[in-house]
Amino acid sequence: MARKEIPIEELSIDPAVIDVLKLAKEKEYETVWDRLKRQSPHCKFGVQGVCCRNCIMGPCRITEKTPRGVCGADASVIVSRNLIRALAAGAAAHSDHGRAVAVLFNEVAHEENQDYRITDEAKLKAVAKRLGVDTEKPILEIAKEVAAQALADFGKQDEKALNFLKAYAPSKRKETWQKLEEALFSQTGKKMGVLPRNIDREVTECMHRTTMGVDNDAVSLLIHGVRTALADGWGGSLIATELQDVLFGTPNKKTIRANLGVLSKDKVNIIVHGHEPILSEQVVEAAMSEEMQQKAKQAGAKGINVAGICCTANEVLMRRGVPVAGNMIHQELAIMTGAVEAMVVDVQCIFPALGRLAKCFHTQFISTSDRARFPGAVHIQFDEKRARETARKIVETAIEAFPKRDKSKVHIPGVVAEAVVGFSVEEILNMLGGSPKPLVDAILEGKIKGVVGIVGCNNPKVKHDSFHIALTKELIKRDILVIGTGCWAIAAAKAGLMQLQTQELAGEGLKAVCKLLEIPPVLHMGSCVDCSRMLVLAGALADYLKVDISDLPLVGSAPEWMTEKAVSIGTYFVASGVPVHLWPAPPIGGSPEVGHILTETIKDLLGGYFFVEEDPQKTAEIMENIILEKRKAF
Ligand code: SF4
Ligand code: MSK
């Protein structure tokens, strides 16, 4: 049955979105919701994960009447293969981002790039110390050794675990992974590695194992999925976060503005969208320069306004306080305001639909990465070695578009909220006086019952931001601290949940702690790769208490997820010992065996597990029960 017409008010809880959607309807601009409607109903084989097209004897679809593909693969093998292929794609996305940062950092260490520098020497020394690098040396010598270890994690060929995982994962968790490898071998007689050896290798091996006629054992496939996800969380994503902090500064507490109302009616608006701060840092820098501000004035504007969308937004708001125009679903709506001179994109979560839409306006849709091309985009190749020059060219292109703005088309919703952001692990520890003890004490005393980390996306199948916000409010009411990243964090910022006044929505215990620390009960920890910050925080608490992460009252959630990256994130949290909630349901319904492994069997192996729930209220109840159960053994 086709998806029925849903009233505009039912598509989002964000008034700015509703406002622009009404305009879209009137002007017949196409949106993500229109395309979802046309794509519905979705293919049930795809939804259940039982369609395989891994070789050309197929595609094969599993039903009761056809329980095996042409090669003989059954539903469990096909579902597992599809799942870990998605996971590998997600891990690859985060890790390719991490590689770009590691390569740039190596160039800076070797003085081969004059456009970037080491901004945060204290963070560099902290990273070096973890990696066992002598920190008494000159800064660039330390940087060279850190860079060598980071790059080795992408290319070393030995069987040892990743350098960054060994340096950052808490002791008990490393023992858990080691013991699991031994137990799997003794119970099955099959060697199944859990500890990742090399980020690229684990992704490649996922692809190899899932080709026709290689790994045809659901457990073995899923365990390799765990290994690949760990290579992302404690490898690629962590390297991205840590080295970005060294290059651009470790985030600290600051107040920012969020939602489409941050766009200016009389300035040149540049939106940076995607994921990598390497480019956006330079665009912000160039836009702030006196020369570019003057050029904008000569073009008739009052100046230049840079705002972000998606995780590029999270990167520049955490470090520089740049305002955020919205989360993933805002990308088309921002252009529809008619006030965006340039939509500058790098990689990931960028709709290919933007090219066609931008042509209805004066907006320059500028792609910048040789890995990410889009129909209808102007391509300005970003070259790290000529970063300032490229950033200036991008800003100039935006300025040149300003006089072409059609004022009659400008429609900026006056919706904006303030948010307190910038909660890196360093900033959290700093506020706690340098040690996790006050947080641990608050948890032990029950003022804070536990912590939930919420991540991820928007998905038009879910009323935009509704699950994010309802779940967050429900949790803080129950004295559960909420931390998170990605488009959830932008949703929370837009909804005003990151203001200090939100303390009043929290339970008495959490409220008292937040008042003492002058923080909201909902903490923005950054972008998608910054999910690694949550792992590091969990690791710090576990090591402080000399327990495993799975002993802590922590739960994760991806309540409006859509990307393959979320499959990897969810899996590395589960593999690190954290129960993880998902909505929408992942495409595994075609195999009860795989469902059972991921929701039950895995509990005994890793401590973490997945659960699926559609209702935010019930999700909060389940999470509280998990937390209360964990607290009993605490
Ligand atoms: Fe069909 Fe097997 Fe080929 Fe998949 S790998 S398409 S199940 S024959
Ligand atoms: S941007 S991965 S929609 S969080 Fe990281 Fe948002 Fe999800 Fe993209």
Atom of ligand 1 nearest to the CA of 68: 7
pLDDT(583) > 90: yes
Write down the pLDDT at residue 127.
98
Rounded to an integer, what distance in angstroms lies between the CA atom of residue 549 and that of residue 222?
21
pLDDT for the residue 71: 98
Q: What is the CATH number of the domain that holds 174?
A: 1.20.1270.30
Q: Atom 7 of ligand 1 has which residue's CA nearest to it?
A: 69
**Crossing angle for the helix pair 290-298 and 387-401, nearest 10 degrees?**
20
CATH of residue 488: 3.40.50.2030
Residue 528 maps to a domain? yes
* Assigned domain for 81 exists: yes
Percent over 90 (pLDDT), the chain: 97
The proportion of the chain whose per-residue pLDDT surpasses 70, expressed as a percent, equals 100
Q: Does residue 310 line the site of ligand 2, with CB under 6 A?
A: yes
Judge contact between 58 and 82, C-beta under 8 A. Answer: no
565 ligand 2 Cβ < 6 A? yes
Residue 189, C-beta contacts closer than 8 angstroms, at least 6 positions apart: none
Domain boundary among 213, 248, 283: 248
Tell me, yes or no, whether 70 lies in a domain.
no
Strand 60-61 relative to strand 51-52, pairing: antiparallel
The answer to whether the beta carbons of residues 376 and 351 sit under 8 Å apart is: no
Kindly state if the Cβ of 558 falls inside 6 Å of ligand 2.
no
Based on the domain organization, do 124 and 152 belong to the same domain?
Answer: yes
Report the pLDDT averaged over residues 366-395.
97
Task: Based on the fold, state whether residues 391 and 428 are members of the same structural domain.
Answer: no
Residue 537 CA to ligand 2 centre (angstroms): 21
Q: Which residue's CA lies nearest to atom 8 of ligand 2? A: 349
Looking at residues 179-186, what average pLDDT do you find?
A: 93
Which residue reads 């985009």 in tokens? 377
Do 266 and 212 have their domain in common? no
Same domain, 188 and 123: yes
Query: Of the candidates 409, 437, 463, which is a domain's last residue?
Result: 409
* Structure-token match 């559960």, residue found: 480
Listed residue (210, 80, 230) closest to 577, CA to CA: 230
- Averaged pLDDT for residues 582-603: 98
Pairwise CA distance, residues 585 & 614, whole Å: 8
- Encoded tokens for 1: 């049955």
Residue 25 belongs to a domain: yes
Q: Tell whether the model's pLDDT for residue 298 goes beyond 70.
A: yes
From 60, 215, 221, 591, give the residue whose CB has the most ligand 1 atoms within 8 Å, as the site to mutate.
60
Top mutation candidate among 96, 329, 349, 467 for ligand 2, by most atoms within 8 Å of CB: 349
| Whether the predicted pLDDT of 3 surpasses 70 | no
pLDDT score, position 555? 98
Torsion angle of the four alpha carbons 203, 208, 211, 214, in this order, in degrees rounded to the nearest 10: -130
The SS3 of residue 484 is strand
Query: What are the φ and ψ backbone dihedral angles of 379, each rounded to 5 degrees?
Result: -100, 120
Ligand nearest to the CA of 97: 2
Q: What element of type H or E holds 429?
A: helix 425-431
pLDDT of residue 188: 87
Asked if residue 182 has pLDDT above 90, the reply is yes
pLDDT > 90? residue 4: no
How large is the C-alpha radius of gyration of the chain? 24
pLDDT, residue 1, reads 54
Q: Residue 55: CB within 6 Å of ligand 1?
A: yes
Neighbouring-strand partners of residue 255 = 420
71 within ligand 1 shell (Cβ under 6 A): yes
- For ligand 1, atom 3: residue with the closest CA: 55
Buried b (16+ CB within 10 A) or exposed e, 589-610: bbbebbbebbeeebeebbbbbb
pLDDT of residue 2: 58
Domain count, the chain: 4
Q: What is the mean pLDDT of residues 124-144?
A: 98
Atom of ligand 1 nearest to the CA of 69: 7
Task: Give yes or no for residue 528 CB within 6 A of ligand 2.
Answer: yes
Pocket flag, ligand 1, residue 53 (CB < 6 Å): yes
Statement to judge: residues 34 and 151 lie in one domain: no
Report CA 108 to chain centroid distance, whole Å.
26
pLDDT band at 5 (very low <50, low <70, confident <90, very high): confident
Looking at residues 266-270, what average pLDDT do you find? 98
Range of the domain at 40: 8-61
Contacts of 273 (CB under 8 A, 6+ apart): 308, 309, 310, 312, 313, 331, 343, 344, 345, 346, 349, 350
User: From CA 410, how far away is CA 339, in angstroms rounded?
Assistant: 6
| Atom in ligand 2 nearest the alpha carbon of residue 488 | 4
- Please check whether residue 255 lies inside any domain of the structure: no
Q: What is the pLDDT of residue 305?
A: 98
Residue 154, pLDDT > 90, answer yes
Instruction: Give residue-wise pLDDT tens across range 308-323.
Output: 999 999 999 999 999 9
Indicate whether 253 belongs to any domain: no
Instruction: Give the pLDDT of residue 634.
Output: 74
Report the DSSP pairing between strands 342-345 and 268-274: parallel
- The token pair at 34 is 């229109």
Over range 265-278, report the average pLDDT: 97
Residues 434, 386 share a domain: no
pTM for the predicted model, two decimal places: 0.97
Tens of pLDDT along 110-122? Answer: 999 999 999 999 9
Residues 83 and 54 occupy one common structural domain: no
Q: Which of 409, 428, 443 is the C-terminal boundary of a domain? A: 409
The half-sphere exposure of 243 on its side-chain side, counting CA atoms within 13 A, is 35
Q: Which ligand is nearest to the CA of 313?
A: 2
Residues 128 and 20 in one domain: no
> What does pLDDT average to over the chain?
97
Distance (Å, whole) CA 582 – CA 589 = 14
Per-residue model confidence as pLDDT tens digits over 482-535: 999 999 999 999 999 999 999 999 999 999 999 999 999 999 999 999 999 999
Over residues 203-217, mean pLDDT = 98
- In terms of domains, do 476 and 610 share one? yes
Helix (H/G/I), strand (E/B), else coil: 614:
coil
187 vs 292, more confident: 292
Phi, psi of 484 (to 5 degrees): 175, -175
Q: Is residue 219 domain-shared with residue 294, that is, in the same domain?
A: no
In this model, does residue 479 exceed pLDDT 60?
yes
**3-class SS letters over 6-18:** CCHHHCECCHHHH
Whether 254 is in a domain gets the answer no
Q: Let me know how long the chain is.
A: 634
pLDDT digits (tens, 9 = 90+) for 158-170: 999 999 999 999 9
Do 497 and 575 lie in one domain? The reply is: yes
Task: Choose which residue among 32, 565, 583 to substitute to test ligand 2 binding: the one with the highest number of ligand atoms within 8 A of its C-beta.
Answer: 565
Residue reference for tokens 């395989």: 52
Residue 117 domain flag: yes
Give the span between the Cα atoms of 119 and 410, in whole angstroms.
39
111 and 52 housed in the same domain:
no
